[in-house]
Structure 1
Amino acid sequence: MKGFLLSFWSEFYKSRKTLGFWSAIILPLFLNLLAVAVFYTKSDKFMMYQPMVLWIQFSMMSLGIMGTLLLPMFVIFIAYSVNSVEHKADTWKTLFSLPLSRWSVYGAKFFYAVFLIFLSLFLFGVFTIAFGNLLGIVKPELKFGAYHMEVQIMQVYFKLFLSSLGILAIQFLLSLLWADFLKPMGIGFIATITGVIAASKNWEYAYAFPYAHPMAAITSMIKQNKGPVRDLEIDIFTKDVFVSLGVAVVVFIAGYFIVRRKSVK
């Protein structure tokens, strides 16, 4: 555990000034500020909406972009950026020669990538809630304060986080095996487009394809309740999420043995 923590903090210090780290913070801030600008300048258009509908419209401005094409591409970028430092400096042999187990080094790198994805999606939820309530204060005609969706918004982003782990595990392994950014990026981009098409066309087996999971998570997030509309519940653990978690575990373990053999050479 000590070796894992040392490796994890090492990843933080190596990446804290990189685009990969700051994109996890800047991206949610930028998209939410964009949503604020739209609602602020077009408040007369949104003032007639019911409070719950208003929250849904506001949150979907960021969620709709992030949950379709942008999240898989962001995961691909993060997976590569975590490993790019070693690729550029050609320090893999040095890294694996340290008095730390290879499992600690490999696991710390992977879970640091997981942390960056979690941080970004957590900030998406926090900024959405904070800016929505701020708009309700600055523009009282926008009745954000009359309804609360804090729990549901955080649940949606947590579901997106879980749905992205399968993609992350695959792209993380590809970025370890190839120093060239174009190969894992190209594979990930083609797979993402395929996944978006499969999910948008409601292909019955889309849940089995990891790159379709973020979009599938959005389309399957509302529980089918028979009660009133105000009882909005988010269905987090749908089958696409379970498949994503399963893929992440299997690829993570398989990746360790693949990388362990390659790293010795």
Structure 2
Amino acid sequence: MTGFILSFRSEFYKSRKTLGFWCAIILPFIICSLVLWGSYTHVKPAPPMILWLELAGAILNVMGILLLPMYIIFVAYSVNSIEHKADTWKTLFSLPISKWSVYAAKYFYALFLVLLCLLLFAVLTLGYGYLLGALRPELKFSDYVISSLLFQVYLKLFLSSLGILSIQFLLSLLWSDFLKPMGVGFVCTIAGAIAGGSHWKYAYLFPYSHPLLAISGISPRQGRAMAFDANVWNKEIFVSLIIAVVVFIVGYFIVEKRSVK
């Protein structure tokens, strides 16, 4: 456990000035601020629930369909690119820390960056909604409480991304060239968007379609007016978790047996 903590802290210190780290913070501010500006100038008075759904939906549609998978591809590579560029893999694995600790720390640091990014999206969506209500009092955002649903949706989006993260992390660990994992991830993201958007019945088995399915799986709550259910624990989430765990474990054994260059 000590080796894992030391390796995790090392990842933070190595990446705190990189674009991969700052994208987790800057990206939510840019997207949410653009949506806030568009909403401020174009949104017309409507029931508070509709206003919240329009604001949150605009951000989620941008984030979930294309931006989140591409961000995961970039983060997975950026965590490993430091060692690729400096050619320090052999040095890293020769330290008196187990390969498991080094491998797990890198993976969970990438996972932390994805979680941080999505958490900021949730917080900023909520904060900007109330800010928009203050700037335009006729938009009564404070009359509807969406915080519980919003955080459930972003939790679901995070869980749906874990399969993609495990796959891209392994690819970027084994390939030093950015174009290879990027190319595979981009093609799979497009394929996932098509599979999810066309409602293919087996799309839930393809991890790159999970973020889109996670958003489209939100439904009205039965028996209650003006309430929605995020349906967090559905089949694509379980498939995402299974893929994430299996690929993570397989990736470790590949790294253990293969000389990482």
What CA distance in whole angstroms lies between the structure 2 residues aligned with 1:112 and 1:146? 38
What CA distance in whole angstroms lies between the structure 2 residues aligned with 1:55 and 1:243? 30
Equivalent of residue 260 in structure 1, options 224, 235, 256:
256
| TM-score (norm. length: structure 2) | 0.98
Residue equivalent to 1:117? 114
Q: How does 1:1-265 map to 2 (within 5 A)?
A: 1-42=1-42, 45-47=43-45, 49-222=46-219, 225-263=221-259
RMSD: 1.1
Do 2:152 and 2:232's aligned partners in 1 also have CA atoms closer than 8 Å?
Answer: yes
Residue identity in the other structure for 2:95: L
Distance 1:251 1:141, change over 3 A: same
Residue identity in the other structure for 2:44: F
Q: How many residues align?
A: 261
Do 1:92 and 1:263's aligned partners in 2 also have CA atoms closer than 8 Å?
Answer: no
Q: How far has the Cα of 1:237 moved from its partner?
A: 0.8
What CA distance in whole angstroms lies between the structure 2 residues aligned with 1:84 and 1:28? 23
Do 2:89 and 2:260's aligned partners in 1 also have CA atoms closer than 8 Å?
Answer: no
Distance 1:139 1:94, change over 3 A: same
Q: Secondary structure at the match of 2:21?
A: helix
Q: Secondary structure at the match of 1:127?
A: helix
In percent, how many aligned pairs have the same letter?
A: 60
Residue identity in the other structure for 1:198: A
What CA distance in whole angstroms lies between the structure 2 residues aligned with 1:123 and 1:28? 6
CA deviation map 1:198-250 (0-9, x unaligned):
0000000000000010001111122x533233222211011000000000000
Q: Secondary structure at the match of 1:218?
A: helix
- Structure 1, unaligned stretches of length 5 or more? none
| TM-score (norm. length: structure 1) | 0.96
Q: Secondary structure at the match of 1:113?
A: helix
What CA distance in whole angstroms lies between the structure 2 residues aligned with 1:253 and 1:60? 35
Distance 1:227 1:119, change over 3 A: same
What CA distance in whole angstroms lies between the structure 2 residues aligned with 1:35 and 1:77? 23
- Structure 2, unaligned stretches of length 5 or more? none
